[in-house]
Structure 1
Amino acid sequence: MGQEASKRKGANETPSAKDKNFVHLPNTIAWWKDFKGFLADVQAVKFLTLDHFAASFAENDPFKEAKELTNLKKACTLSVNSPVNEKELMEEMLPWLAGKALAVEELFVEDGKHGLLKKLSKFKSGKITLSRQQVCTLMALAFFNAFDVQGPTFNHFSLLNILTISNARSQRSKMLCLFQYFSRLMEAEKKDKDFMNMQLSFERLVLRSAPDWSNSDQPMGVLLSCSGLIEDNHEALQADFANKFIGGGVLTLGNVQEEIRFVISPECLVSLLLFEEMEPNEAILITGAERFSTYSGYGNTFEYTGPFVDSNPVDSEQRRCVNIVAMDAIVAGYGGDEFCPELINRDMNKAFVAFSADTSMDKPENKAPVASGNWGCGAFGGNVELKTLIQWMASTMAGRPLHYHTFSSKELAEQQQEIVKLINEKKVTLGQLYQCVIKMDGKESPFSVVRQTFDNQN
């Protein structure tokens, strides 16, 4: 994440000022002609064993990083539930992926130029829409490690680490999720052309001015405490507990909420190529990235369990009605004082810009709920009660009900609903609750402070 500007062989030539707004795709780089020959050999099934393919990949990789594809081999030979076996991988999936990678020459034209793809740079609102065919081609290129590092403000879009690192079951499960995604698309090309022509959109959301939290007289909105998983809340705007470099460690060793979401919905991975890091007033909306896999566990126990068919409706723009909003919380667990008013305001505004996204499910008179949960409370060390209050106020300001997924914590759900009951009975406004929260110092639990503040209010 945030890697240094590349000095790798084949790095992009310095683009013109105008072209700095674009990703330069591999077919614009000098080494493409030779690499194209390697892809043509893969497509023609010139390699009959994984070892033979791995050796040729290592020789032809433009960045000389491909070595033993240990995880790729283990996933298809040792996993009883793998969507493909080694023979199917060599004779069907790899040739198909090579063909998809080669399609970059026809699928991407910007400003009359081939091989350009618009970036969604920080500080600027922006949106692009891609077809599933285009997304699949980008994923195939990432499989073959064909993208250079774009610089310190981008995550790096390459699947190479998933192909190689095999020191944990969770890594093998990432590979199986990718197999499932590619397998489904291979099948769809034969039987369901409409599926391959569906669209996905990627949008950077920028908050230009913060709400007047302190003086809001809005009544507090709905807060429901929910069981189950965020991705199963199909009619909601679904929160991604993001790293500021979108995707976090998904393509290395990360395996928590964001990383899991991105491998069960692999089309989200294209966002690593498109988006610079998020600023404190920014969020990212991905629409149409459906889910392809089921899983169990979390962290080191994450495990692929099988295929998933997404049955959400399709909107008027031919996007699956799946709306995922990425928002990064402050890092509280490493010396940061999350009760500092500046940091409370930062997370309030971050959640507000995320929850204010326009989704394909919203109706003029009724916005879809937002499905969230313990945002920033795992590796980032946040306080669950404080994050509950912050997200509730932000969702109220954005005009959305908050569906808070407690991840099976009955105690948290009961405490939340006690606070909801108190706030509703006392008719506490958003501004009043904000004034209570902004004065907290962390010495007492946030819910206790709310009780003490409003219990005796008439």
Structure 2
Amino acid sequence: LCFQGIPLLQQGRAAAITLSQAQISCLLANAFFCTFPHRNSTSFHSDYHTYPSINFTRLFSHWSERKMEKLKAIVHYFHVATDEKTKLDGLVTFERRCLANTDARTWSCCKEEMNKLYVSSCGAIETEGSGLLQVDFASSWLGGGVLDSGLLQEEILFLMSPELIVSRLFTEKLQDNECVIVTGCQQFSTYSGYGDTFRWKGPYADPTGRDGWARRQRQVLAMDALRFTHGRDQYSMKLVVRELNKAYCGFKRCEEERRGEEPDIATGKWGCGAFKGDPQLKAVIQLMAAARAGRGLAFFTFKDEKLEHGLRQAYRLLRTKGTTVGE
């Protein structure tokens, strides 16, 4: 299925790789059996020390309830991939994007006004955000702790759509001006809970249609937020600009896309929680980046009604005054 080496998505280089779902299942089977050489060492001197782990070694060690539930999702994926009745015959594209340096002065000159905003305390990115560009609250090492004990938003996303895991094989750690967009990944499972309460619920028959390339009409944007030791640090202009650039890198449309044809964005409390990001600040940052990109934003607060009402009020004020991104 794979007759030549898989190209690497390296730091500082915008590039894309398209693989068939059959090729991905073959690569993931090798990862499951830990056959990839030179990928177990985390030494600074190893050839792939700037790449995430891909072999499933850690998932099989130090048994826990979390890992058992993870393996249920992964084994179900392999069951579907190897069953002739559910043969996987589509394609998946992994695109690394790099944004040219953009400083505070560039942002202050932006004349775009705030675009449309939908905010809700109900629903989730992967369900109500169907058909939109879905944000993965990523680690700079794609997939985060998916092959270990991690079970936050990104890890759960990778378990429901295990084809995302293969990105760890060839995607070097993300830099501040980079993100990854995956087009065509299929959802295989459903779940409940989060962290210690996470449970694999069962199979999912993905109804998503396909594009002209036989890819599922689903896009996932992996973008990593900064982790703050002290929450107050995030209000410095330098770090705000870093987050603006990161979001804009993912939100801006491709050269082939014409304005109005690209989908809106489904996101939420990016970089909050354990990363200590301020949800209101992160929401405004994403709203600004989406406005500059000419896209609308669907923001899911994950049952945070106070944030929902606050964002609606702030958005109403910004729209009423015609406030621009630069202002």
How many angstroms does 1:293 deviate by?
Answer: 0.7
SS state at 1:201 partner: strand
Partner of 1:198: 90
How many residue pairs match? The answer is: 315
Contact in 1 for aligned 2:180/2:222 (Cα 8 Å):
yes
Contact in 2 for aligned 1:333/1:382 (Cα 8 Å):
no
Give runs of aligned pairs for residues 419-430 of structure 1, distance below 5 A.
Answer: 419-430=314-325
Match of 2:27 among 107, 132, 138: 138
Give runs of aligned pairs for residues 433-444 of structure 1, distance below 5 A.
Answer: none
State the TM-score, normalized to the length of structure 1. 0.66
CA–CA distance in structure 2, aligned partners of residues 416 and 170 of structure 1:
34
Partner of 2:44: none
Provide, for residues 61-101 of structure 1, a one-character-per-residue CA deviation record: whole Å limited to 9, x for no partner: xxxxxxxxxxxxxxxxxxxxxxxxxxxxxxxxxxxxxxxxx
Give runs of aligned pairs for residues 243-322 of structure 1, distance below 5 A.
Answer: 243-322=139-218
CA–CA distance in structure 1, aligned partners of residues 213 and 255 of structure 2:
12
Provide, for residues 332-380 of structure 1, a one-character-per-residue CA deviation record: whole Å limited to 9, x for no partner: 23577111111000000000001125499x6653321111110100211
1:170 aligns with 2:66: yes
Partner of 1:230: 125
Give runs of aligned pairs for residues 388-407 of structure 1, distance below 5 A.
Answer: 388-407=283-302
Provide, for residues 251-271 of structure 1, a one-character-per-residue CA deviation record: whole Å limited to 9, x for no partner: 011110111101111000001
Match of 2:138 among 211, 233, 242: 242
How many angstroms does 1:164 deviate by?
Answer: 3.4
Amino acid across the alignment from 2:33:
F
Contact in 1 for aligned 2:259/2:294 (Cα 8 Å):
no
SS state at 1:316 partner: coil
SS state at 1:171 partner: helix
Root-mean-square deviation (CA, aligned residues, Å) is 1.8
Give runs of aligned pairs for residues 211-222 of structure 1, distance below 5 A.
Answer: 212-222=106-116
Extract unaligned runs of 5+ from structure 2.
Answer: 40-46
Contact in 2 for aligned 1:245/1:277 (Cα 8 Å):
yes
Provide, for residues 385-431 of structure 1, a one-character-per-residue CA deviation record: whole Å limited to 9, x for no partner: 11011000001111110111100111111110001111111111111
Higher RCO by CA contacts (8 Å cutoff, separation 6 or greater): 2
Change (3 A) 1:336 1:244: farther
Partner of 2:240: 344
CA–CA distance in structure 1, aligned partners of residues 29 and 91 of structure 2:
17
Structure with max Cα Rg: 1
Extract unaligned runs of 5+ from structure 1.
Answer: 1-106, 111-115, 433-458
Partner of 2:42: none
Match of 1:157 among 54, 61, 68: 54
SS state at 2:176 partner: coil
CA–CA distance in structure 1, aligned partners of residues 230 and 50 of structure 2:
22
CA–CA distance in structure 2, aligned partners of residues 305 and 312 of structure 1:
20
Greater fraction helix: 1
CA–CA distance in structure 1, aligned partners of residues 17 and 178 of structure 2:
16
How many angstroms does 1:247 deviate by?
Answer: 0.9
Give the share of equivalent positions with the same residue, in percent: 35
Give runs of aligned pairs for residues 109-148 of structure 1, distance below 5 A.
Answer: 109-110=3-4, 116-147=5-36, 148=38
Contact in 2 for aligned 1:139/1:270 (Cα 8 Å):
yes
CA–CA distance in structure 2, aligned partners of residues 203 and 416 of structure 1:
31
